[in-house]
Structure 1
Amino acid sequence: MRTLFFVDDLPTTVGSTYEFNNDDALHAIRVLRTKSGDDFNLSDGKGNWSHVQAKEVHKKHMTVEVLETGHQDALGTHFTIIQAIPKGDRIKEAIELCTEGGADRIVMWKAARSIGKSDDKIEKLQTTAREASKQSRRFRIPEVKGVAATNAVVDQIAHADLAIVFHESATMKVSEVVAPGCTKVAIIIGPEGGLTDDEIDTFAAAGAKIALMGRPVLRSAHAGLAALSAVNTALSVW
């Protein structure tokens, strides 16, 4: 699969040339050693893409020719991950994994037992989602939002066709709560210290399903990817 880079001003005219000169271009030149004749993809992060070929490679920029352009439609199911803020660098790991797992929107949530902080990191976390999208060859970069309070999570539940809270106390499996045909799915992931009884009761009262992800208890930063995998499979998206 071709390497992917993002640009703000995506060229979409076949046969035209374009000056590729942002930070991604530097990475392509200095790290990936891109040379004249190499081809790769550019995208605007909103589903539009162009297959290009390098014509002239300089120290900090390159001239490319547009060979083909297109648009990738969004999948029929939209996934929102509501992630309780994990501590330290695990917040970045959570964003990376959820992006690679296909999340369309990631909402950072200040749960009662959240230790980490992300109030001043949303812009950096959006950059993390951008980089993870390149790594996973996604033409659509997920939106990172936050920081949400619990009442905002309740609003997210109200706007979803299916909202699932994963907790080890649940008696129902993912396959038992997922119904075919859902187009708006919200997945709520608790913090390292676990969800409180009040949070579980509040989300259940708002219409969320409480489900078990299996016997092992995962780290908060890893649970989003596992949940996306399970729900995507149950909905036959994967």
Structure 2
Amino acid sequence: MLTLFFVDDLPTTVGTKYEFANEDANHAIRVLRMQSGGYFNLSDGKGNWSHVEILEVHKKHLTVIVLESGFQEPLETTFTIIQAIPKGDRIKEAIELCTEGGADRIVMWKAARSIGKSDDKIDKLQNTAREASKQSRRFRIPAVVGVATTANIIDEIAKVDLAVVFHESATMKLSEVIVPGAKKIAIIIGPEGGLTDDEIDAFAAAGAKVALMGRPILRSAHAGLAALSAINTALSVW
């Protein structure tokens, strides 16, 4: 697939010349060594895209021409990942993996046993989702929101067709809690130290299903991608 870059002022009229001059353009020139006659895609991160050809390469920008443009409709099935804040760089890893797995929203949650902090990092984490969207060729950048409380998560559960909480003590497998035809799905991932009994009870009382994700216990930062893969497959989205 063609390299993807994001711009705020996406040109969409075929034949339009456009000066591509943001940080991505600098990367295209200095790192990717793009040349005249090359092709790539531009997007606004909201589903709109344009296929462009490079006309001229300058020191800090590219002059391109729009060859084709379009709009990618969102999928009928949408996923919200509710991620208990992991420690250190694992918070960035969680955002990258969930973005590459197709999450539409990523809610950072301050669980009782969360060690990491993200109160002052939401803008940086949104940029992480942007970069991961480029890597995975997504025309839609997921929203990163937070920091949410447990009460906020209970409100999130009420908005979806299926909410799944993963915990190693669960007696039901994921395949047993899937709701056929569910369109709005929330996946709740606990912290490294695990969910508290109070959190599990509160989410279950709000309507979430408590499920086991196989025998291996995954890192908190990795579980979101595994859950997205399993549920997308179970619902035949993939």
Distance, in Å, in 2 between the alignment partners of 1:188 and 1:194 is: 12
Q: What secondary structure sits across from 1:70 in the alignment?
A: strand
Q: What's 2:109 paired with?
A: 109
Question: CA offsets, 1:65-105, max 9 Å, x none?
Answer: 00000000000101000000000000000000000000000
In the alignment, does 2:225 pair up with 1:218? no
Q: Which amino acid aligns with 2:193?
A: G
Q: What's 2:160 paired with?
A: 160
Q: What's 1:10 paired with?
A: 10
Distance, in Å, in 1 between the alignment partners of 2:173 and 2:26 is: 47
Q: What secondary structure sits across from 2:163 in the alignment?
A: strand
Q: What's 1:119 paired with?
A: 119
Distance, in Å, in 2 between the alignment partners of 1:46 and 1:60 is: 26
Shift of 1:173: 1.0
Q: What's 2:149 paired with?
A: 149
Following TM superposition, the consecutive aligned residue runs of length 4 or more in structure 1 with deviations greater than 3 angstroms are none
Question: CA offsets, 1:90-149, max 9 Å, x none?
Answer: 000000000000000000000000000000000000000000000000000000000000
Distance, in Å, in 2 between the alignment partners of 1:211 and 1:197 is: 14
Q: What's 1:236 paired with?
A: 236
Q: TM-score, normalised by structure 2?
A: 1.00
Shift of 1:175: 1.0
Structure 1: state its 5+ residue gaps: none
Distance, in Å, in 1 between the alignment partners of 2:104 and 2:122 is: 16
Q: What secondary structure sits across from 1:124 in the alignment?
A: helix
Identity of aligned residues (%): 82
Aligned alpha-carbon RMSD (Å) = 0.4
Distance, in Å, in 2 between the alignment partners of 1:80 and 1:103 is: 6
Q: What secondary structure sits across from 1:49 in the alignment?
A: strand
Q: What's 1:227 paired with?
A: 227
1:1-238 alignment runs, 5 A limit: 1-238=1-238
Q: TM-score, normalised by structure 1?
A: 1.00
Distance, in Å, in 2 between the alignment partners of 1:159 and 1:206 is: 11
Distance, in Å, in 2 between the alignment partners of 1:47 and 1:172 is: 37
Q: What secondary structure sits across from 1:232 in the alignment?
A: helix
Q: What secondary structure sits across from 2:55 in the alignment?
A: strand
Q: What secondary structure sits across from 2:107 in the alignment?
A: strand
Structure 2: state its 5+ residue gaps: none
Size of the alignment, in residue pairs? Answer: 238
Q: Which amino acid aligns with 2:111?
A: A
Q: Which amino acid aligns with 1:16?
A: T
Q: What secondary structure sits across from 1:18 in the alignment?
A: strand
Distance, in Å, in 1 between the alignment partners of 2:76 and 2:172 is: 26
Distance, in Å, in 1 between the alignment partners of 2:90 and 2:59 is: 35
